[in-house]
Amino acid sequence: MTQDLWWQGAVIYQVYPRSLMDSNGDGIGDLQGIIQRLDYIASLGVDAIWVSPFFKSPMKDFGYDISDYRDVDPLFGSLEDFDQLIEEAHKRNLKVIIDQVLSHTSDQHAWFQESRESKANPKADWYVWADANQDGSAPNNWLSIFGGCAWQWEPRRQQYYLHNFLTSQPDLNFHHPEVRKAALDNVEFWLKRGVDGFRLDAINFCFHDQQLRDNPAKPVAERQGRGFSEDNPYAFQYHYFNNTQPENIEFIEELRRLLNKYPGSTTLGEISSEDSLATMAEYTAGGNRLHMGYSFELLTENFSASYIRHTVESLEKQMTEGWPCWAISNHDVKRVVSRWSDKYSDAQDYPNKAKLFSALLCSLKGSVCSYQGEELGLTEVDLEFDQLQDPYGITFWPTFKGRDGCRTPMPWHNDLPNAGFTQGTPWLPVASVHREVAVNLQEDNPASVLNTFRAFLKWRKQYSALVKGDIEFLNTDEPVLAFYRQYKDEKLLVVLNLSSTQQIISTPGNSALSALEGHGLSSGVISGNKIDLPAYGCLFASCS
């Protein structure tokens, strides 16, 4: 991969700072904790780390509510710690991507503190303000993802302000040119400090419909949430007007022009719209917008060979110019080995499922985001109500328990207090089941999920077809997923058995197949015109 395109086909390891490693005993992970674990991360064979927000924040949404875009929250350390993180990561050939939360701030941000005071101050129009209806009700029917009305009354201005997320996360008015300039200036602050790219949180939420038109109702049959609970009334609307506005295109082109001044830097946009795949294609088109986009399409409960094929093929048809990035887990959804339950049998073989799911993810066309702990095969943690920290889960308990179950601390050593994460009291409990798959227990087992993950990523780098080749799916019955990856003259067949039972399929086409070894997973066997796949097994073969 060239310097400028290092991100194309890269494996990006998502670090959730609160839960990776605590260096000072306060129970919360921090930047020095990340630095302590960089050797481990580098040993995985990943290309970059994505560090979730560490900026100054009241932590109502655990850092996604920023009160100062240019400073590190004391919980996580200092700007000097961040500079050291960049330096140490680069020594290990790891790129560093950080979150940028552009669409909204914390209500504790100095901009909002000024804006809320009156209708005539210099920041008066920096946020989305609107008058009440004649009966005092909210300006329209827009809803917050975190439940209820998306408008909050502010008595000082006698107006409502928009919040697509928590009430403490007011939305910026990107129709205002000074807001766009300030946002870009904040991005450049971190580029100057040496970051290699940005994961752009909720990037399609920057602009709103200036006419404040009501969102239309969505039929019951279509109320399927992407990244949010389906009992959430947010799913009851088509969100045509509170996000994904046409003006956003011009802004992301402005953003791209900024990044072009810093060769090798990249952008990864998180996109959740009514047609996320179409928006991904639109936002990455033309070579002058986002470098990469990813959506929630593989972060849902949907799991089958046909669903995965349909999702990837749908994107391929639309994204003719851009580059996708795939994720099957992150800090917002249930961990994949728990979420993608085995629909083909009652077996819960989490280690082999974890191995196969990571191989699947890293074999699709595009770049990859792998969430911390996926390399260990961590399962979702079932927490009691009094253990919850996430306001989302607290609001929707008990039908939806929020995001804490995927955010619990990393288990480093089974015999140490708090599994080696902290010497203090952890902000979320360390799960006892996670101690059983702690890093120290997996290190010495060549067949562990951890070492299989390492082996596969090392093996993957040998094949340009897997890193940046095209993809073509084959017709197979459930539960088998099969596709070709091809780059120039190199063509590989990938066949995956998504179930806990043996599967036998016919060999495709007229190509001579030669099975490839060394990837570390349970491998299928080619016998005549048949491929025999063990439970959660796969076959990688060269085609000639």
Which of 65, 107, 201, 375 is an active site residue?
Answer: 201
Task: Provide DSSP, 161-191.
Answer: EE-SS-TTSPBB-TTSHHHHHHHHHHHHHHH
Which of 47, 81, 270, 316 is an active site residue?
Answer: 270
Per the listing, tokens 């399609």 go with 204
Question: CA 271 to CA 300: how far, in whole Å?
Answer: 14
Within 3-101, strands assigned E span 11-15, 48-51, 55-56, 68-72, 95-100
Q: Could you tell me if 166 and 60 are in contact, meaning their C-beta atoms sit under 8 angstroms apart?
A: yes
Two tokens at 299? 């972060």
Task: Provide DSSP, 436-465.
Answer: TT-HHHHHT-TTSHHHHHHHHHHHHTT-HH
Q: Could you tell me if 204 and 240 are in contact, meaning their C-beta atoms sit under 8 angstroms apart?
A: no
Question: CA 86 to CA 74: how far, in whole Å?
Answer: 18
253 is catalytic: no
282 is catalytic: no
Beta bridge partners of 231: none
Two tokens at 58? 């009241």
Can you tell me whether residue 36 is helix, strand or coil? helix
The CA-to-CA distance between both ends of the chain, in Å, stands at 25
Helix (H) or strand (E) holding 235: none
- Which residues belong to the active site? 201, 270
